Amino acid sequence: ILNVEQSPQSLHVQEGDSTNFTCSFPSSNFYALHWYRWETAKSPEALFVMTLNGDEKKKGRISATLNTKEGYSYLYIKGSQPEDSATYLCARLRLSYNFGNEKLTFGTGTRLTIIP
């Protein structure tokens, strides 16, 4: 993996069902992984920032796991609700030894639509 990749590109899920999607990234020189939720016509909003291999974070019905050795993170949504409809972005930060040169690399996002 050379870049940050997200799959699937889009997803339709029935209300009440649970779902998950993937962020894959280069495992070398890993420093941090960010997840953001971006609802239509709104600003992207941070969900999680993760740094440790094996880390798991939870916010309400949304949780995320991180595997830095193999270079992936999963985002899970339990019992999907219409308000979960959004694009979910992940972004990886590469370890830099030049302070001030750290930059996030974003994936193209997974667009989630919840069907009532």
Residues that bind other proteins (CB under 8 A): 4, 31-32, 34, 36, 41-46, 49, 51, 89, 91, 93, 100-109
Distance CA 113, CA 45 (A): 17
Minimum distance from residue 69 beta carbon to other proteins (Å): 19
Choice between 100 and 116, CB closer to other proteins: 100
- Of 108, 113, 85, 114, nearest in space to 5 by CA: 108
Minimum distance from residue 27 beta carbon to other proteins (Å): 16
Choice between 15 and 45, CB closer to other proteins: 45
Choice between 14 and 105, CB closer to other proteins: 105
Choice between 13 and 49, CB closer to other proteins: 49
- Of 10, 24, 7, 112, nearest in space to 61 by CA: 112
- Of 30, 1, 3, 51, nearest in space to 95 by CA: 30
Minimum distance from residue 4 beta carbon to other proteins (Å): 7
- Of 32, 71, 25, nearest in space to 48 by CA: 32
